[in-house]
């Protein structure tokens, strides 16, 4: 018997807003606004509110602004009137220092309005850019979003997508077929899994509308309302000085054996809970939020379980973007480092690993929030430098006894230094190199490592470092803005 797939049950725009916000807190604005188009019979298709519901409300008692495209009204297409409504809540959010959340389900610009609808998108984009780094901006893609309706989400801080329900693409499958003769369906071209695992456009993939909206609520709980505030402090019910004995067994004694870096991050967080961001994209680096002693911390960690934790183009982009978000919004950074270097390869070099890799060092060096680094094992070469080394501005650098801080691994170094040696001589030199560099003592003696700690003490040592640097006061030279290698 053939299995019939159950149709996806989408919430209406109003149901989405009511699910997202605290009960009975939504205040709607511009509910009587209608489009002004009279071409192509549009004067007969006027509905109060047009295709967007907008206003403000609260999440866990904190003010937020929200707008939701209504796919039931002309496919959620953007009219000049809709754009005016969205721009109004964007302005209010910026003036009042509160996050703005867009629930997107739109076919793009309303064709009947021509340049007026396109201009509406321009007004929204401009406000997205002006709000960047001032208030958090979150976009949920709740259905198909084509053309211009993709670019406002792309300018925001976080994007969420719904599995098998939402798509994003600048040009749809029919246009792709006409221009490049490629056959592709909507899901493959711009579906949730594509943008979460391949392109990196999206940060979260959810199973349905409700899970998406609950994820937004959780995300809001980790971040401040604006760039002048700190993230909410949660009651501390987890012992600050908790000893994490399980960490003593995580890092293998063999430097070539992989392990999951999340097995170090999760135990040291309050309630052992880590809220990972972009888990499906560039898996060789792990980013996300946790709490330590009730305060939000942003984690950036190499993942030895994938590509040995080497940095590549995608990992560099992923990490740099997250580092800059945390710095914008006063969230301290913890780098957990086990990196053998940058990923070698012709494709990586030709596609700009130099340019992309420079983004991480730029982001860490530019960040003025408290910055702490923990080296668990490998810290080799340029990758050691960019992963928040002491010399580019880390406040506290800790290391496990298993840490290896060197230009490269012992085998690679000796193959270069002693290329003409016999196999026996080379093995002897490898052992000598390991004795000299495969430990944290040389760096500690030079002051590049502040303390060598036992893994079980990681939680309390990181909390102490973060508490020490909480009142850090550092600013960069006055400038209009830097020129980051994009």
Nearest alpha-carbon partner for 90 in 78, 104, 80, 102: 102
How far is Cα 230 from Cα 59, in angstroms, rounded to an integer?
Answer: 17
Nearest alpha-carbon partner for 82 in 111, 107, 51: 51
**Residue linked to tokens 């992923």:** 318
Active site residues: 147-148, 382-383
How far is Cα 169 from Cα 448, in angstroms, rounded to an integer?
Answer: 46
Q: Please check whether residue 265 is in contact with residue 246, taking contact to mean a CB–CB distance below 8 angstroms.
A: no
**Residue linked to tokens 């994007």:** 159
Phi-psi region at 23: left, alpha or beta (left = phi > 0; alpha = psi -120 to 50) = beta
The distance between the two most distant Cα atoms of the chain, rounded to a whole number of Å, is: 88
Q: Please check whether residue 405 is in contact with residue 373, taking contact to mean a CB–CB distance below 8 angstroms.
A: no
Dihedral (CA of 215, 218, 222, 226) sign: positive
How far is Cα 456 from Cα 58, in angstroms, rounded to an integer?
Answer: 40
Write the DSSP assignment of 268-310 as a string of letters: HSGGG-EEEESTTS-TTEEEEEEEETTEEEEEEEE-TTTGGG-
Structure-block tokens of residue 461 = 């040592």
Q: Where are the beta strands (DSSP E) in 78-165?
A: 100-104, 137-141, 144-146, 158-162
How far is Cα 289 from Cα 297, in angstroms, rounded to an integer?
Answer: 6
Q: Please check whether residue 364 is in contact with residue 476, taking contact to mean a CB–CB distance below 8 angstroms.
A: no
Q: Specify the DSSP element, H or E, that contains 380.
A: strand 371-380
At CA 258, angle to CA 256 and CA 260, rounded to 5? 155
What's the Cα-to-Cα distance from 295 to each of 93, 320, 358, 413, rounded to whole Å? 24, 22, 29, 42
How far is Cα 55 from Cα 471, in angstroms, rounded to an integer?
Answer: 36
Q: Please check whether residue 298 is in contact with residue 263, taking contact to mean a CB–CB distance below 8 angstroms.
A: no
Write the DSSP assignment of 89-102 as a string of letters: HHHHHHHHT--EEE
Q: Specify the DSSP element, H or E, that contains 410.
A: helix 410-417
């Amino acid at each position: 018997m053939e299995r019939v797939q159950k149709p996806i049950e989408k919430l209406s725009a109003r149901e989405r807003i009511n699910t997202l916000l605290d009960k009975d807190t939504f205040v709607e604005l511009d509910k009587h606004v209608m489009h002004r188009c009279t071409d192509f019979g549009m004067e007969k298709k006027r509905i109060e509110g047009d295709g967007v519901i907008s206003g403000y409300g609260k999440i866990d008692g904190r003010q937020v602004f929200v707008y939701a495209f209504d796919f039931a009204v002309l496919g959620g297409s953007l009219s000049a009137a809709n754009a005016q409504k969205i721009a109004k809540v964007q302005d209010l959010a910026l003036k009042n220092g509160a996050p703005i959340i867009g629930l997107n389900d739109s076919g793009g610009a309303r064709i009947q309005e021509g340049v007026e609808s396109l201009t509406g998108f321009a007004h929204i984009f401009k406000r997205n850019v002006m709000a960047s780094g001032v208030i958090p901006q979150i976009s949920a893609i709740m259905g198909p979003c084509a053309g211009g309706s993709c670019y406002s989400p792309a300018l925001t801080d976080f994007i969420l997508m719904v599995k098998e329900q939402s798509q994003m693409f600048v040009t749809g499958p029919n246009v792709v077929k006409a221009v490049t003769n490629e056959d592709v369906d909507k899901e493959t071209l711009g579906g949730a899994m594509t943008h979460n695992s391949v392109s990196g456009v999206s940060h979260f993939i959810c199973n349905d509308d409700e899970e998406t909206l609950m994820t937004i609520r959780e995300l809001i709980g980790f971040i401040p309302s604006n760039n002048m505030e700190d993230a909410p402090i949660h009651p501390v019910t987890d012992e600050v000085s908790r000893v994490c004995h399980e960490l003593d067994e995580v890092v293998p004694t063999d430097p070539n054996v992989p392990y999951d870096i999340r097995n170090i991050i999760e135990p040291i967080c309050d309630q052992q809970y880590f809220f990972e961001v972009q888990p499906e994209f560039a898996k060789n680096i792990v980013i996300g939020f946790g709490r330590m002693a009730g305060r939000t911390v942003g984690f950036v960690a190499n993942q030895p379980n994938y590509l040995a934790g080497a940095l590549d183009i995608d990992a560099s982009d992923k990490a740099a973007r997250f580092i800059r978000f945390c710095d914008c919004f006063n969230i301290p950074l913890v780098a957990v480092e086990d990196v053998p270097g940058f990923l070698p390869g012709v494709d990586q070099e030709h596609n700009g690993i130099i340019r992309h890799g420079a983004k991480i060092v730029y982001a860490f060096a530019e960040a003025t929030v408290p910055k702490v680094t923990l080296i668990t094992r490998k810290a080799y070469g340029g990758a050691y430098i960019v992963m928040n080394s002491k010399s580019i501005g880390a406040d506290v650098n800790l290391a496990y006894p298993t840490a290896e801080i060197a230009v490269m691994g012992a085998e690679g170094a000796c193959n270069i230094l002693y290329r003409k040696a016999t196999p026996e001589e080379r093995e002897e030199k490898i052992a000598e190199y390991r004795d000299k560099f495969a430990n944290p003592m040389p760096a500690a003696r030079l002051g590049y490592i502040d303390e060598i700690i036992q893994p079980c003490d990681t939680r309390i040592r990181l909390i102490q470092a973060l508490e020490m640097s909480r009142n850090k006061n550092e600013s960069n030279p006055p400038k209009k803005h830097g020129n980051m290698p994009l």
